[in-house]
Amino acid sequence: MFEHLQAKPADPILRLMQEFREDTHPLKVDLGVGVYKDEQGRTPLMQAVDRAQRILVESELTKSYIGPPGSPLFNEQITRLVLGAGLAARLQDRLAVAQTPGGCGALRMAAELIKSCQPEARVWVSDPTWANHVPLLGGAGLPLETYPYYDAETGGVRFDAMLATLEKSARAGDLLLLHGCCHNPSGADLSNQQWQEITEFCLRTGVVPFIDLAYQGLGQGLDEDAQGVRYLFDSVPEALLTSSCSKNFGLYRERTGALLVLSAKAQQTQATASELFTTIRSHYSMPPAHGAAVVETILMHTQLDELWRSELNGMRTRIQYLRQQLNQGLQARGVDRDFSFIERQQGMFSFLGISPEQVKQLRKDFSIYMVESSRINLAGLSAQNLDYVCDGLASILKE
Ligand code: LMR
C-alpha cells in the first residue's frame, strides 16, 4: 500500500525551523518562521494567557466534548473582537461562526464549505501569498488563481493591476482571498480607500470576499487593523473570514482560531451553520478546547483584557521600532539601496528583496536564516543581533 510513496519536499518554513535548531553557530539569527520573539529571542507565554490558564485550572470542571461549533462564548467574543461590538450585533443573525483548530483549520473548513456550496468556484490569491494557502485551499479541490499584488519597486501594492486582473478574469461566485492586515509574506497592506474600492468591486461583480485575518493587532492596532474588513462586512451580502489567535494571543501550539461565514439573509444562516458544522464533524469532529477557553477567559475579565491589550501593544510597538532600526542600520552602513519601505510596511514580515543566492550566502557565512524569497520576520531582530544582521546584509549587498 505504501510502497509507491516518495518523500515529499518538506514545507519550506517548517524545514527552516528545523535547520535553525540544528545550527550550532553562537551568533545564529532566526528571521524565518512567523512567531513573535522578545528581546531575549524567546516566544513568551503572555502574562494574560498565563493568568487565564491558572483560572481555568482552578475552575474547570469537565473535559467533556464541546461539539463541532466549539465554545459559543468564544465564538461570540471573537466575532466582537474582529467586527467590533456594534457591527457584530448588527450582523449576528446572518453569521455562522465556528471555533477552529487555528487559522489553518478555519481556512480548510472554509475551503471545504465553498467546495460543497459552489463546486466550480475559484479562489483568487495574491501574488505572492502565504505558502500554506495553496495546499490548505487547493487540497479541498478548489482551483487557485493569482492576482498581482506586491510591488517590489515601491514596497507597496500594485492596486491598479490587481483590480484590472480581477475585473477581467474573476467571475461571480469566485472567492477573493485578502489578507485582513499585515500581509504575509510582504507586509504591504491595502489602504482604507482600497478596501472601499474592493468592496465596490465585490458588490458590482458578485465576487465573494474571503478574508484571512491572522495578525489582528500587530499592524496599527486591534481596531485599526480590522477597519477595512469591517467596512467590507458591513456592505457585502456574503463573505467568509478566518481569524487566528496564534500570534496576537501567542497561542500557536494550542491551535485556536475561528471561521465566520456571512450569509445574505438571516433565514439562510441556520442552513449555512448546519452545512459548516456537518463539514467540521466529518473532518476533525470538533476543535480542541483549551486555547479558546483561555481567549474567552481573557476577553471576559476586564483586568485580563486590559493586560492582554497592553502586552499586544508592546509587541506591536517593538516590531515597529525594529522596522526603523533595521532601515536606519542599513542606511548607516552606506548600503546603496533604499530600504525605507520596511518602515512603511506592517506586521511581522517584509521582503528584503535579495536573491535566493544572497539568502543562501547569509545563512552560510553568518547563520542568518530567512525564507528563500527573502521574507524576514522582523520580530526575530533584537538589540543583541541587529548590528550583526545589518553587518551581514551590508557585506553581501556591497559585493
Ligand atoms: C509563517 O508564515 O511563518 C507562519 O504563519 C507560520 C507557518 O505556519 O507558516
Tens-digit pLDDT profile for residues 63-109: 999 999 999 999 999 999 999 999 999 999 999 999 999 999 999 99
- Measured from the CA of 214, which atom of ligand 1 is nearest? 5
| CATH code of domain 65-300 | 3.40.640.10
pLDDT over 90 (residue 26): yes
**Percentage of the chain exceeding pLDDT 70:** 100
Q: What is the structure's pLDDT at 228? A: 98
Question: How far, in Å, CA of 184 to CA of 123, rounded?
Answer: 17
> Exactly one of 30, 174, 189, 212 is catalytic; which is it?
212
| CA separation for the pair 97, 77 (Å, rounded) | 11
Q: What residue type is 42 in one-letter code?
A: R
pLDDT at 319: 98
DSSP state of 259: E
Which is the catalytic residue, given 37, 124, 130, 225? 130
Q: How far is the CA of 131 from the centre of ligand 1 (A)?
A: 8
Mutational test site, ligand 1, from 18, 43, 130, 256, max ligand atoms within 8 Å of CB: 130
Secondary structure of 138-161 in HEC code, one letter for each residue = HCCCCCEEEEECEECCCCEECHHH
User: Coil, strand, or helix at residue 210?
Assistant: strand
Whose Cα sits closest to atom 9 in ligand 1? 13
Instruction: Specify whether 124 is catalytic.
Output: no
Give pLDDT, residue 11: 86
Reported as a pLDDT band with limits 50, 70 and 90, residue 12 is confident
Ligand 1 near 34 CB (within 6 A): yes
Compute the distance from residue 142 Cα to the ligand 1 centre, in Å: 21
Q: What does the pLDDT look like over 175-204, one tens digit per residue? A: 999 999 999 999 999 999 999 999 999 999
Is domain 12-44+304-397 classified as CATH 3.40.50.620?
Answer: no
Work out which ligand 1 atom sits closest to the CA atom of 130.
Answer: 2
Q: How far is the CA of 346 from the centre of ligand 1 (A)?
A: 16
Written as nine digits, the cell of 70 is: 466549539
Which atom of ligand 1 is the closest one to the Cα of 13? 9
Asked if residue 132 has its Cβ within 6 Å of ligand 1, the reply is yes
pTM for this prediction: 0.96
How confident is residue 4, by pLDDT bands cut at 50, 70 and 90?
A: very high
Per the CB < 8 A criterion, the answer to whether 199 and 235 are in contact is yes
HEC assignment per residue over 302-313 = HHHHHHHHHHHH
User: Which pLDDT does position 9 carry in this prediction?
Assistant: 87
Q: Which of 11, 13, 256 to mutate to test the pocket of ligand 1 (most atoms within 8 A of CB)?
A: 13
Q: Say if residue 380's pLDDT is above 90.
A: yes
Question: Rounded mean pLDDT of 320-329?
Answer: 98
Known catalytic residue at 130: yes
- CB of 20 within 6 A of ligand 1: the answer is no
Does residue 399 carry a pLDDT above 80? no
Q: Ligand 1 mean position to 206 CA, how many Å?
A: 31
User: Is ligand 1 within 6 A of the CB of residue 130?
Assistant: yes
Average pLDDT estimate for 220-238? 98
Where do the structural domains in the chain lie, given as residue ranges?
Answer: 12-44+304-397, 65-300
How high is the pLDDT of residue 10?
86
Question: What mean pLDDT comes out for the span 288-301?
Answer: 98
The response to whether residue 13 sits with its C-beta less than 6 Å from ligand 1 reads yes
Q: Check if 212 is active-site.
A: yes
Angstrom CA distances, 262 to 74, 142, 237, 241, 281, stand at: 18, 20, 7, 8, 20
Please provide the average confidence, as pLDDT, over all residues in the chain: 97
Q: If you take atom 4 of ligand 1, which residue's CA is the nearest one?
A: 34
CA of 72 to the centre of ligand 1 (A): 27
Band the pLDDT of 398: cuts 50, 70, 90: confident
Considering only CA atoms, which of 270, 272, 212 is closest in space to residue 238? Answer: 272
Q: How far is the CA of 354 from the centre of ligand 1 (A)?
A: 20
Distance (angstroms) between ligand 1 centre and the Cα of 115 equals 24
Bridge partner residues of 165 (DSSP):
none
Q: What is the pLDDT of residue 384?
A: 95
pLDDT for position 236: 98
**What residue ranges in the chain does DSSP mark as E strands?**
29-30, 95-100, 123-127, 144-148, 150-151, 156-157, 175-179, 208-213, 239-244, 257-262, 349-351, 368-369, 375-377
